């Protein structure tokens, strides 16, 4: 980890996200709304978040379901258009870049790995065609022989054999399918991979294989990862830096070490408190309180205040901004005011 | 006497291409008030073991051998009608997805009182009072008001609490909980685990906790049985199995789990994946992935045997005759 850390600290930002927002209109149909006299309902899935990912590092987003982490992933790869804010990839505004004529030049530089390897591979295509699709789309090879060689090379790289190219996805286990997804993602020679829960559909022993493979590829190819997961132990294992999300906002951004050794935001502390105790220390922990509120109607001020042991009047009124605190970024009035429980 | 005893259980699925043995010679017992964790990867047979115990094995699957004894009497050969009175009354069940285990068309009140009336001698009013009491016990705020709500009006965590209330409503001796926290978020998972632990302690209920998550086992169970390809490969106290695994599969499994605070560059990995039911090899089913396999592993299937440590494992490496001879 030291090498990548060094690279990350000195490297330039590959991806910059500024005040990114995505609001979904989840209102009832117009007629129903008029008849029942109801206002429009807007779901703020991502509500103004900013972060940077440096070249060669793994930046992770963690949070519970509905916090907006997958929406961020989709915004970054362009599967959703943002409602506000901007995404800069290597200095260029991504939403403008993908509309230009030479969009393919930029577009091939990032790829995505999805959660469910059963749903993300076309069951009627041979593996060879699945893996070579980006090569064909971005015209990265001139002849079919070249494509075949490249596919063989990619399959070998992810631990499969070139002969597997003739098979169909159903002939593979979940872990092998995820390897095919990774080969497909690598086929356009990307620098940046967005990995949305890449191992959460897999068994633990297979998860270890995929995590090891991803780390190995990162070292060899100098990849940059945005890693999205709800599993804190996995995030601890793979990340250089981590952003914790709650209801569409970032509440803490810190290096993996700082976050797990000295979590500052009360929500981060709550999350860490839920990690099962695999060392069997038998320490009694404070019970976790409450549930994630409905994102359509989030609490006023800091969205975490109803569950927060340190909340006061100010937290109900005013939403905290991300502020620097000893190398980390934290959005919390209690931390800022040094409130103690 | 053990509360539940499973002896040489076999479950088979007849198919057009021959019979598949999904569970092969599984034996274990659960003591009153004990939490036994059953852990394994998908397809290891852990859920089928649970389904056989509660008599909800989906046809064409059937128990083809062995016995299941509850408080000393056999329950695996009971007719459907008799089993209905054991399920719910003596054995409660909690399933993975709380939305599909509740009927979306009935209020929570109706579902709870229905179950209570079937198993207990009560009037409608008493049953309703007991239902409210139960909801209160599983931590649903304002139970008296929420009882007339429909399942969709509850959040995922609250629904799982309702399912737990259903499982405990006739004071069963045993609860079979199949992945009770898998569909839930981490903070809710922690709450449900705490609730289950509290309920078992208060009611002295035994739990068979089926999960793929070693973390949940570490938090909750007293003993753990590790399953692989339809067999139990290791049984022991949770602490012993986690800290000092004996079977090569368990060792590999423990090494492949990332743990917060343990910095490792590369996770230990078990290459390959679990064989499909149609392709279970001769000898020990794990031999093709096992780093320590010896000749005997390719030919003979090991049974659980003492390991010299606190747990028992099904592995020839612990057979003194094999190792010395």
Higher pLDDT among residues A341 and A55, named by residue: A55
Question: Closest Cα partner for B216 from B74, B38, B81, B60?
Answer: B38
Is B119 part of any domain? no
Sign of dihedral through CA atoms B21, B22, B28, B30?
Answer: negative
For B118, half-sphere exposure in the C-beta direction (CA atoms, 13 angstrom radius) is 17
Strand-pair category, A110-113 with A192-196: parallel
**Beta carbons of B190 and A277 less than 8 Å apart:** no
Domain that holds residue B274: 250-325
pLDDT at B98: 81
> Most confidently modeled of A37-51, A80-94, A283-297, B25-39?
B25-39
Instruction: For residues A151 and A193, give the distance between their C-alpha atoms in angstroms, rounded to a whole number.
Output: 19
The C-alpha of B229 sits at a distance from chain A's nearest C-alpha, in angstroms, of: 14
Please check whether residue B11 is in contact with residue B61, taking contact to mean a CB–CB distance below 8 angstroms: yes
Nearest to B190 among A209, A237, A288 (CB): A288
How far apart CA B313 and CA B294 sit, in angstroms, is 16
Q: How many CB atoms lie within 10 A of CB A168?
A: 15
CA dihedral B83, B84, B90, B92 (to 10 degrees): 120
The parts of chain B modelled with pLDDT lower than 70 are 325
Among all residues of chain A, which has the CA nearest to that of B249?
Answer: A205
For A242, A244, A255, A302, the CA distances from A329, given in Å and listed in that order, are 10, 10, 10, 16
Count how many Cα atoms sit within 13 Å of the Cα of residue B312 in the half-sphere of its side chain: 11
* CA gap A106, A88 in Å, rounded: 12
DSSP string, B113-130: HHHHHHHS---HHHHHHH
Q: Mean pLDDT in chain A?
A: 89
What pLDDT does residue A280 have? 67
Q: What is the pLDDT of residues A220-242, one digit of tens each?
A: 999 999 999 989 999 999 999 99
Q: By three-state DSSP, how is residue A175 classified?
A: helix
Q: What gap in Å lies between CA B260 and CA A204, rounded to an integer? A: 15
Query: Which of A65, A236, A280 comes nearest B258 by C-beta?
Result: A236
* Chain A contact for B153 (CB, 8 A cutoff): no
For the whole model, what pTM was predicted? Answer: 0.88
Report if residue B262 sits inside a domain: yes
**CB of B151 within 8 A of CB of B99?**
yes
Could A260 and B155 be called an inter-chain contact, meaning their C-beta atoms sit closer than 8 Å?
Answer: no
Q: Indicate the pLDDT class of residue A92, thresholds 50, 70 and 90.
A: confident
Nearest CA in chain A to B270: A205
What's residue A5's pLDDT? 45
pLDDT at B308: 85
Alpha-carbon distance B258 to A235, whole Å? Answer: 9
Interface mutation vs chain B, best among A63, A210, A218, A237, most B CBs within 10 Å? A237
Reported as a single tens digit per residue, the pLDDT across A151-193 is 999 999 999 999 999 999 999 988 999 999 999 999 999 999 9
Share of residues in chain A with pLDDT > 70 (%): 94
Please check whether residue A274 touches B, CB under 8 A. Answer: yes
**Which residues is A172 bridged to in the sheet?**
none
Domain count of chain B? 1
C-alpha pair distances (Å), B199 with each of A176, A303, B7, B129, B193: 41, 32, 28, 19, 10
B257:A204 CB<8 A: yes
What is the pLDDT, as a whole number, of residue B325? Answer: 60
Token pair 């090879």 in the structure block, residue: A141
| DSSP per-residue codes, B154-188 | S-HHHHHHHHHHHHHTT--SEEEEESTTTTS-HHH
Query: Which structural domains are found in chain A, ordered by start?
Result: 2-109+191-268 (3.40.50.300)
- Residue B139 and residue B180: Cα distance in Å, rounded? 16
What kind and span of H or E run contains B12? strand B4-15
Any domain includes B161? no
pLDDT at residue A2 is higher than 70: no
Q: Whole-angstrom Cα distance, residue B2 to residue B7?
A: 12
Q: Is residue A117 pLDDT above 50, yes or no?
A: yes
- Residue A11's pLDDT band (boundaries 50, 70, 90)? low
Q: Is the pLDDT of residue A74 over 60?
A: yes
- B213–chain A Cβ distance below 8 A for any pair: yes
How far, in Å, CA of B168 to CA of B177, rounded?
11
The nearest CA of chain B is from the CA of A248 a distance in Å of 16
- Are the CB atoms for B218 and A280 separated by under 8 Å? yes
- Taking residue B300's Cβ as centre, other Cβ atoms within 10 Å add up to 14
Tens of pLDDT, residues B242-282: 999 999 999 999 999 998 888 888 898 888 888 888 888 89
Q: Is the pLDDT of residue A115 over 50?
A: yes
Q: Which of B185, B187, B256 sits opposite A205 (nearest CB)?
A: B256
Whether B311 is in a domain gets the answer yes
pLDDT of residue B184: 84
Note the pLDDT of residue B224. Answer: 96
* CB-CB contact of A87 with A95 (8 Å): yes
């Amino acid at each position: 980890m030291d090498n990548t850390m060094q690279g990350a600290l000195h490297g330039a930002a590959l991806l910059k996200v500024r005040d990114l927002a995505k609001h979904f209109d989840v209102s009832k149909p117009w007629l129903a709304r008029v008849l029942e006299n109801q206002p429009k309902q807007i779901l703020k899935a991502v509500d103004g978040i900013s972060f940077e990912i440096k070249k060669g590092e793994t930046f992770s987003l963690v949070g519970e379901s509905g916090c907006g982490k997958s929406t961020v992933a989709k915004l970054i790869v362009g599967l959703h258009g943002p409602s506000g804010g901007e995404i800069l990839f290597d200095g260029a505004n991504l939403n403008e870049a993908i509309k230009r004529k030479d969009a393919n030049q930029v577009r091939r530089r990032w790829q995505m790995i999805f959660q469910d390897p059963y749903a993300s591979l076309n069951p009627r295509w041979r593996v060879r065609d699945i893996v070579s699709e980006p090569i064909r789309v971005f015209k990265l090879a001139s002849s079919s022989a070249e494509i075949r060689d490249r596919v063989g090379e990619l399959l070998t790289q992810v631990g499969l054999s070139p002969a597997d190219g003739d098979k169909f996805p159903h002939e593979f286990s979940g872990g092998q399918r995820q390897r095919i997804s990774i080969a497909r993602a690598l086929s356009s020679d990307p620098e940046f991979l967005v990995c949305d829960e890449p191992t959460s559909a897999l068994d633990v022993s297979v998860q270890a294989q995929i995590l090891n493979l991803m780390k190995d590829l990162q070292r060899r190819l100098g990849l940059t990862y945005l890693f999205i997961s709800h599993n804190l132990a996995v995030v601890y294992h793979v990340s250089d830096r981590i952003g914790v999300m709650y209801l569409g906002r970032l509440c803490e951004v810190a290096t993996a070490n700082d976050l797990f050794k000295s979590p500052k935001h009360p929500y981060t502390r709550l999350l860490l408190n839920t990690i099962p105790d695999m060392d069997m220390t038998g320490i009694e922990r404070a019970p976790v309180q409450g549930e994630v509120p409905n994102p359509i109607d989030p609490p006023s001020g800091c969205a975490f205040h109803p569950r927060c042991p340190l909340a006061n009047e100010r937290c109900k009124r005013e939403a905290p901004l991300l502020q620097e605190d000893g190398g980390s970024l934290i959005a919390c009035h209690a931390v800022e005011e040094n409130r103690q429980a | 006497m053990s509360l539940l005893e499973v002896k040489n259980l076999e479950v088979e699925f007849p198919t057009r291409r021959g019979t598949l043995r999904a569970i092969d010679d599984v034996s274990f017992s659960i003591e009153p008030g004990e939490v036994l964790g059953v852990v394994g990867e998908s397809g290891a047979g852990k859920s089928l073991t649970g389904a056989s115990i509660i008599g909800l094995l989906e046809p064409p699957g059937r128990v083809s051998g062995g016995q299941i004894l509850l408080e000393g009497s056999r329950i695996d050969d009971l007719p459907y009608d008799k089993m209905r009175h054991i399920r719910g009354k003596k054995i409660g069940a909690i399933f993975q997805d709380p939305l599909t285990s509740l009927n979306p068309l009935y209020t929570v009140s109706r579902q709870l009182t229905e179950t209570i009336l079937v198993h207990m001698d009560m009037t409608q009013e008493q049953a309703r009072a007991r239902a409210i009491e139960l909801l209160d016990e599983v931590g649903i705020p304002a139970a008296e008001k929420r009882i007339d709500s429909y399942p969709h009006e509850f959040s995922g965590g609250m629904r799982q609490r309702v399912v737990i209330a259903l499982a405990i409503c006739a004071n069963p001796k045993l609860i079979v909980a199949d992945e009770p926290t898998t569909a839930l978020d981490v903070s809710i998972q922690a709450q449900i685990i705490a609730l289950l632990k509290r309920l078992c302690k208060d009611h002295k209920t035994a739990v068979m906790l089926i999960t793929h998550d070693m973390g949940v086992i570490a938090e909750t169970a007293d003993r753990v049985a590790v399953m692989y390809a339809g067999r139990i490969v290791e049984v022991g106290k949770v602490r012993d199995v986690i800290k000092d695994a004996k079977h090569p599969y368990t060792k590999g499994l423990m090494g492949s789990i990332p743990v917060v605070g343990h910095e490792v560059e590369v996770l230990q990995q078990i290459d390959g994946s679990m064989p499909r039911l149609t392709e279970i090899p001769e000898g020990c089913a794990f031999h093709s992935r096992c780093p320590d396999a010896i000749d005997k592993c390719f030919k003979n299937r090991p049974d659980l045997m003492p390991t010299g440590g606190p747990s028992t494992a099904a592995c020839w490496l612990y057979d003194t005759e094999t190792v010395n001879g």
